[in-house]
A and B are shown apart, each in its own frame.
Chain A
Amino acid sequence: MPLKDLIIDDSLIQRLIIDGVHKDSSVTRVAHHAYGYHTPQTGLLMPAIRWISRDRKSVLVERQPELRLVEYSNKKAAYVDKESTKLYMLPMPWTLFFIQFGRDDLTRINSISICARNSSLSSEADTLYCLWLPNLMDAHMMCLGHTFNDSYSNQTTNHISHTGKLELSDAAAIAISLVWSVGFNNDAAAARPFVPDAFSDNLIEYTHGQHAMMEFWESQSLETILGWEYKTNGSTLGSLTELLDYEKPSRYKDLHHYLQYKTSESNV
């Protein structure tokens, strides 16, 4: 059975011996990488950042109930035109944005999940509900497409050229702002099982390609929509704990593997 050795000596040199191959590195350098000094600074955080990943490349932002101006076309993305597009001022419940940035830096976005709640998060065990917006796959994962990431990339490049840096808080703010400004269409329409019963109770039968749902939604008050019973999608969206579960270090086989990874990062 192959043996691996890790020796740290009193001059704080770390020697990893794997398969007979020695790899020396300074504990200090590795420590800085292990502790995340190579990851982006948070900057001054926007209100209601409720969770930050260890590598500071993922963040959970909570937004309180508010009215949002959104553009919606009842056609597929390729066929969106002026005639099919209308502006709606929609009351939004408590919303959660789980944003995962690219592995290399904050100028790319891997994914954005948007969830709804009737109240602010009070525990990691709280249930997350589907937001009945179009363009959300599995009723929570925003369909980003190349247009979204291109727009995001342009905006972050502008930000960097003005301020000389891109911190986590700025990146999250830009991403959320884009979610609302990019416009919605009928590419992945809100799936019927995840739309609150209030729509069908009021004879608004959800069908593809109709503005009726948006019109009904717009006519509701913030207070009313917070009283609705929201739906879970029952599979990919459960509690906050499950959403954040991906962070466990289970991908490392053993400590040597873990430190080898950090050592290679510190040699970059």
Chain B
Amino acid sequence: MSELINLRSDNEHSWLIVDGFSTPKVDNKTLVEKFHNKIHPPTGLLPPVVKWMSPSRRYVLMERPPTIHSVSFHSAKKSQVHLVKEHNFDLPMPWTLYAIELGEDCYPVAISIFAMRHQMRSISDVLGVLPLPNHYKTGSLCMPARDYSETAGTIGQGINLAHTISWGSGFNLDINFNINATFNAKRPLALVQNIEGKGTPLKLFRNWQKLSLEQVSQCKDWVAPLGYGTAGSYLATPINRVSHLIQKFLNDDMAKSISNPAVNLAIAMKESIAACY
């Protein structure tokens, strides 16, 4: 049986034994703090709309009341957005639920936005998908390339960044599953009625922004999200209620944490050594 990690400590310092050699020594307190922060990043100040957190606190549900979001849209695939005009729309949104996964440094790595029929009352509440481009059938956003000038550091900052990324990165014609599904199902009717000819995102947004917050909040029949699967497939598990989402997050959280102690210890050690210089 081979060793993954061999950590040796005296009363003040710790060091790793790698292939029989010792790494530089690091201060014990520094190492504990780095390791502790790796597995339990600081919460920071949470936005007042957090509705649920996983045990590791890296999976979060956040609720937002009905509001109008300004979005930019290019009616072209990403590679050709520079060739077409940018459109801006003020879209009224119903109650929404954000399902956010935060990475090692608390930067969001996955964001899903769901339409809700009302303010969340229980975990059996039903989820719907918003007919927005760049969202998969599961409700998850096709994440834009990370802006490395933005860092999180705490759970609270990561949650705030997720909201900014959701609405600030602009939409294009890359993924239209949920728009097509909304046109095909003709629901919510308020969003697609009075649209003539073939439904397009531009027609949808022009119609949508004419609606009031109240009209959008009264929509109760949003298209249901499909379940998450593996390797691009769907339907492995239906996720159309908050409880399904929580169960998925609990499973993902546990699976992710199992292999982490050795990895986190190695990272904490590396950071502690770096801090010595």
| Cα separation A7 to B261 with both chains bound (whole Å) | 12
| Cα separation A7 to B8 with both chains bound (whole Å) | 9
CB within 8 Å of B: which A32-58 residues: 32, 34-37, 39, 41-45, 47-54, 56
Q: Is B10 an interface residue (CB 8 A)?
A: yes
Q: Is A248 an interface residue (CB 8 A)?
A: yes
Q: With both chains docked as a complex, state the minimum distance between the C-beta of B244 and any C-beta of chain A, in angstroms.
A: 14
Q: A1-B10, A31-B258, A123-B45 are in contact. Are A252 and B32 (CB under 8 A)?
A: yes
The reply to whether A249 and B8 contact each other, CB–CB distance below 8 Å, is: no
| From B7, B14, B50, B122, contact of A45 by CB (8 A) | B50
Q: Is B169 an interface residue (CB 8 A)?
A: no
The reply to whether A255 and B3 contact each other, CB–CB distance below 8 Å, is: no
The reply to whether A31 and B40 contact each other, CB–CB distance below 8 Å, is: no
Q: Is A9 an interface residue (CB 8 A)?
A: yes
CB within 8 Å of A: which B21-76 residues: 28-29, 31-33, 35-36, 39-40, 43-46, 48-53, 55-57
- Closest B residue to A256 by beta carbon equals B9
Which of chain A's residues have a CB closer than 8 A to the CB of B51? 44-45
Q: Is A240 an interface residue (CB 8 A)?
A: yes
Q: Is A8 an interface residue (CB 8 A)?
A: yes
The reply to whether B48 and A5 contact each other, CB–CB distance below 8 Å, is: no
Q: Is B145 an interface residue (CB 8 A)?
A: no
Contact size range, A: 35 or more
Q: A27-B261, A48-B48, A51-B43 are in contact. Are A2 and B53 (CB under 8 A)?
A: no
| From A8, A36, A255, contact of B4 by CB (8 A) | A8
The reply to whether B8 and A31 contact each other, CB–CB distance below 8 Å, is: no
Q: Is B275 an interface residue (CB 8 A)?
A: no
Q: A4-B9, A37-B55, A258-B35 are in contact. Are A253 and B40 (CB under 8 A)?
A: no
Q: Is B194 an interface residue (CB 8 A)?
A: no
| Cα separation A3 to B25 with both chains bound (whole Å) | 13
The reply to whether B55 and A49 contact each other, CB–CB distance below 8 Å, is: no
Q: Is A14 an interface residue (CB 8 A)?
A: yes
The reply to whether A253 and B6 contact each other, CB–CB distance below 8 Å, is: no
| Cα separation A9 to B3 with both chains bound (whole Å) | 4
Q: Is A254 an interface residue (CB 8 A)?
A: yes
Q: Is B265 an interface residue (CB 8 A)?
A: yes
The main secondary structure of chain B at its interface with chain A is mixed
Which of chain B's residues have a CB closer than 8 A to the CB of A56? 55
Q: Is A10 an interface residue (CB 8 A)?
A: yes
The reply to whether A39 and B3 contact each other, CB–CB distance below 8 Å, is: no
Q: A8-B262, A47-B48 are in contact. Are A249 and B33 (CB under 8 A)?
A: yes
The reply to whether A255 and B9 contact each other, CB–CB distance below 8 Å, is: yes
Q: With both chains docked as a complex, state the minimum distance between the C-beta of B5 and any C-beta of chain A, in angstroms.
A: 4
The reply to whether A35 and B56 contact each other, CB–CB distance below 8 Å, is: yes
| Cα separation A134 to B113 with both chains bound (whole Å) | 45
Q: With both chains docked as a complex, state the minimum distance between the C-beta of B61 and any C-beta of chain A, in angstroms.
A: 8
- Closest A residue to B29 by beta carbon equals A250
The reply to whether B254 and A37 contact each other, CB–CB distance below 8 Å, is: yes
Please give 13 more A-B residue pairs, beta carbons under 8 A apart, in addition to A12-B262, A44-B123, A122-B45: A8-B5, A8-B262, A9-B1, A37-B55, A41-B55, A44-B51, A44-B242, A45-B50, A49-B50, A51-B46, A52-B43, A124-B44, A254-B11
User: What are 24 A-B pairs with beta-carbon distances under 8 A?
Assistant: A4-B10, A6-B8, A6-B9, A7-B5, A7-B7, A9-B1, A9-B2, A9-B4, A10-B2, A10-B3, A10-B4, A34-B39, A35-B40, A35-B260, A41-B55, A51-B43, A54-B40, A240-B45, A249-B36, A254-B31, A254-B32, A255-B9, A255-B35, A257-B32
Instruction: List A residues at the B interface (Cβ < 8 Å).
Output: 1-14, 27-28, 30-32, 34-37, 39, 41-45, 47-54, 56, 62, 120-124, 240, 248-250, 252-258
Instruction: List B residues at the A interface (Cβ < 8 Å).
Output: 1-11, 14, 28-29, 31-33, 35-36, 39-40, 43-46, 48-53, 55-57, 120, 122-123, 242, 253-254, 257-262, 265
